């Protein structure tokens, strides 16, 4: 039996067959989930958004080795750009294909603005400055409701337009080929398509000239500079490229949720994305995806297990699932870094680098 499996694995068509199975599973997934409950399709959509965010942050943290703790700020920028240009708040209703690139560009601009003064400095300063930047963006979102009401303050912006493409409205159900496609399922397929593009970009980036420059900087910045790499420019590129991904993910988040408020863009979200990247394996695209999927589903699974279990055992909630979730993130960061610094699925280069200890 094992022998025949090994023979199958060696077959030249094996990778294609594997890919086909994965593709079929991904295509069928939303219908299987919808059978359990539409909520799970929504949860999966959010998980895919977190995969985007993690892949974007992976460019900064994993490829270039810069710690960005305010990544959610770019997500917020993208989300608010979409919300302001496609909602009754200002009465502007642009189509999504016009806003998403704009949101990405604005996020990238913010990335350059915050990166330019700090990227010349040591990496740890960047961590703090980005952390502060994330907080500043949130404070502004909360307070820019007066004297001119731009962000509507803590109440946030509601009734944001969904994606509309031709006659297809992504918030409504459609029948197609005898199957009923609900709103979340349509978003799922859209997200899946974008996800493939994002993964493709990331893999290509990693093996490109610029990807190798990032790797060189991460391993030894002084040596990289000696090799003729314009380190500040290349780091800025990583930073703004990561910001771009954040901006796109933010725009999609806005459309899918139909509502944004500063609540969604707190520091915890940034740390969550960092945890996903670290747990999965910094620098490895597939590892990061694994980390993001794992940590996105953990809170949902906790909600369905820990709550009833505690109610059954003690008659009331003793530890809220929210707390357990955060403790899992915290311990994931500490334990992964001390015990398995490459993450669950380490990239080969990163593993080599982290295993080697400087005196």
What is the per-residue burial (b if ≥16 Cβ within 10 Å, else e) of 72-111? bbbbbbbbbbbbbbbbebeeeeeebeebbebbbbbbbebb
**Residue 267 binding another protein, by CB under 8 A:** yes
Would you give the distance in Å from CA 216 to the centre of its chain? 24
Q: Report how far residue 201's alpha carbon sits from residue 182's, in angstroms, rounded to the nearest whole number.
A: 29
Q: Report how far residue 141's alpha carbon sits from residue 135's, in angstroms, rounded to the nearest whole number.
A: 10
* Residue with Cβ nearer another protein (17 or 268): 268
**Residue 122 binding another protein, by CB under 8 A:** yes
Q: Give whole-number Cα distances, 232 to 37, 65, 66, 85, 115, in Å.
A: 49, 13, 12, 33, 9
Near another protein by CB under 8 A, which window of 47-55, 167-175, 186-194, 215-223? 215-223
Question: In the complex, what is the shortest distance from the CB of residue 216 to another protein, in angstroms, rounded to a whole number?
Answer: 12
Of 109, 23, 17, 127, which Cα lies nearest the Cα of 69? 127
When computed from its CA atoms, the radius of gyration of the chain, rounded to whole angstroms, is 21
Which residue has 């490109």 as its token pair?
208
Question: In the complex, what is the shortest distance from the CB of residue 275 to another protein, in angstroms, rounded to a whole number?
Answer: 8
Question: In the complex, what is the shortest distance from the CB of residue 167 to another protein, in angstroms, rounded to a whole number?
Answer: 45
Positions 71 through 110 that interact with another protein (CB under 8 A): none
* Residue with Cβ nearer another protein (124 or 176): 124
Count of positions on this chain that bind another protein (CB under 8 A): 50
Question: In the complex, what is the shortest distance from the CB of residue 221 to another protein, in angstroms, rounded to a whole number?
Answer: 4
Binding string, 313-332, against another protein, x = CB under 8 A?
A: ------x---x--xx-xxxx
CB 293 within 8 A of CB 286: no
Which of 108, 271, 292, 295 touches another protein (CB under 8 A)? 271
What are the phi and psi torsion angles at 168 (to 5°)? -90, 125
Question: In the complex, what is the shortest distance from the CB of residue 264 to another protein, in angstroms, rounded to a whole number?
Answer: 17
Positions 124 through 183 that interact with another protein (CB under 8 A): 124-125, 127-129, 131-133, 135-136, 139, 142-143, 147
**Residue 118 binding another protein, by CB under 8 A:** yes
Q: Is the dihedral of CA 43, 47, 52, 54 positive or negative?
A: positive
**Residue 354 binding another protein, by CB under 8 A:** yes
**Pairing assessment for the beta strands 164-165 and 168-169 based on DSSP bridges:** antiparallel
What residues line the site for another protein (CB under 8 A)?
A: 61, 65, 67, 69, 117-118, 120-125, 127-129, 131-133, 135-136, 139, 142-143, 147, 220-222, 267, 271, 274-275, 278, 319, 323, 326-327, 329-334, 337-338, 341, 353-354, 357-359
């Amino acid at each position: 039996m094992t022998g025949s499996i090994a023979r199958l694995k060696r077959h030249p068509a094996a990778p294609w067959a594997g890919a086909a199975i994965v593709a079929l599973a991904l295509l069928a997934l939303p219908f299987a989930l919808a059978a359990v409950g539409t909520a799970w399709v929504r949860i999966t959509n959010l998980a895919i958004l977190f995969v985007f965010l993690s892949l974007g942050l992976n460019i900064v943290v994993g490829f270039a080795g810069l710690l960005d703790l305010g990544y959610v700020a770019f997500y917020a920028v993208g989300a608010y750009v979409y919300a302001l240009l496609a909602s009754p708040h200002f009465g502007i209703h642009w189509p999504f294909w016009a806003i998403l690139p704009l949101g990405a560009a604005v996020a990238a601009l913010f990335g350059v603005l915050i990166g330019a003064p700090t990227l010349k400095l040591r990496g740890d300063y960047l961590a703090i400055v980005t952390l502060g930047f994330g907080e500043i963006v949130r404070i502004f979102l909360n307070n820019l409701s007066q004297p001119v009401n731009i962000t509507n303050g803590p109440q946030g912006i509601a009734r944001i337009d969904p994606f509309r493409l031709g006659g297809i409205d992504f918030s409504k159900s459609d029948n197609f080929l005898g199957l009923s496609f609900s709103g979340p399922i349509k978003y799922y397929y859209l997200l899946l398509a974008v996800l493939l593009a994002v993964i493709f970009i990331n893999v290509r980036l990693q093996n490109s000239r610029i990807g190798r420059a990032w790797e060189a900087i991460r391993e030894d910045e002084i040596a990289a500079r000696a090799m003729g790499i314009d380190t500040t420019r290349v780091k800025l590129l990583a930073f703004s490229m990561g910001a771009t991904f954040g901006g796109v993910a933010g725009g999609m988040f806005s459309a899918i949720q139909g509502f944004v408020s500063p609540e969604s863009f707190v520091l915890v979200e940034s740390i969550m994305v960092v945890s996903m990247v670290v747990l999965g394996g910094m620098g490895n695209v597939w590892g990061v995806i694994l980390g993001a999927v794992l940590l996105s589903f953990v809170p949902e699974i906790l909600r369905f297990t820990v709550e009833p279990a505690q109610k059954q055992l003690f008659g009331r909630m003793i530890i809220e699932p929210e707390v357990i979730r955060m403790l899992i993130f915290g311990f994931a960061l500490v334990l992964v870094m001390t015990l398995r610094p490459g993450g669950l699925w380490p990239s080969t280069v990163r593993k080599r680098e982290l295993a080697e200890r400087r005196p």
